[in-house]
Amino acid sequence: MSLVKLIAAADERALAASGLACLDRCLPLLAEEPDALRPLWAGIVTGEGDWSARLAETRDVLDQALDAGATPNVATVLVRTMLGSAPSDWGVESLRAWADTCSVVALEIHQRFDVVGESVSATAEERLARCREDGTGADGDGTDPAADGVGPLVAGELRRQIRILEILADPADAAALRHVMDLSTEGQRVLRAVVSRRARSRG
């Protein structure tokens, strides 16, 4: 199933976790606070009763970290967009809109650091939209990911987004959230390594 269809079919818990996982993977671009999102992960476990308070707590923690954090650039502004657009209500439509926004923004961020290129154009936007609609570049079949203009970093992020929603769609998986967090941590390491290599090459 495509990423767009998975988001359309997801419930509140899956949508909240999907959006948060996107933010989690991109957070190192904004602040080196490994536990900054822990309150929100806990809020997903408890659901509607705690979500709003946990979101406010997380924003306070990150605001303090960002006061002395990285110099703003396009990537960090995009990450802040994900956190700023998080809904305070535990409603399926507002959470679906947030999960969709986070999905698009996370792919845009990965596109900026991918080997295929950093260009942000109508063509690049169309390519990412197509990836979300039909899974182009996410099948991991060993073909050249650049053949359709999709670089390995975007393809990997797309696979993680799809897999996370598939895991959360399985009601029998009692450890689903733990698996999601592990996948997100893996993606965080990948992006951090890419950013670090680029910084060294420019230094």
Handedness of CA 118, 105, 14, 30 (dihedral sign): positive
Checking if the pLDDT of 69 tops 70, the result is no
Share of the chain above pLDDT 90, in %: 47
> What are the phi and psi torsion angles at 161 (to 5°)?
-60, -45
Q: Which residue has the tokens 């080997």?
A: 115
Q: Comparing 43 with 123, which gets the higher pLDDT?
A: 43
pTM here is 0.88
Nearest to 157 by CA among 142, 145, 170: 145
Measured in Å, how far apart are the chain's first and last C-alpha atoms? 42
Mean pLDDT of the chain: 84
> Among 39-43, 70-74, 144-148, which range has the highest average pLDDT?
39-43
**What was the pLDDT predicted at 141?**
43
Extents of the domains making up the chain: 3-202
Q: Tell me the pLDDT tens digit for each residue of 84-142.
A: 899 999 999 999 999 999 999 999 999 988 876 555 556 778 888 888 998 665 554 43
**What was the pLDDT predicted at 146?**
47
* 140: alpha, beta or left? (left if phi > 0; alpha if psi -120 to 50): left
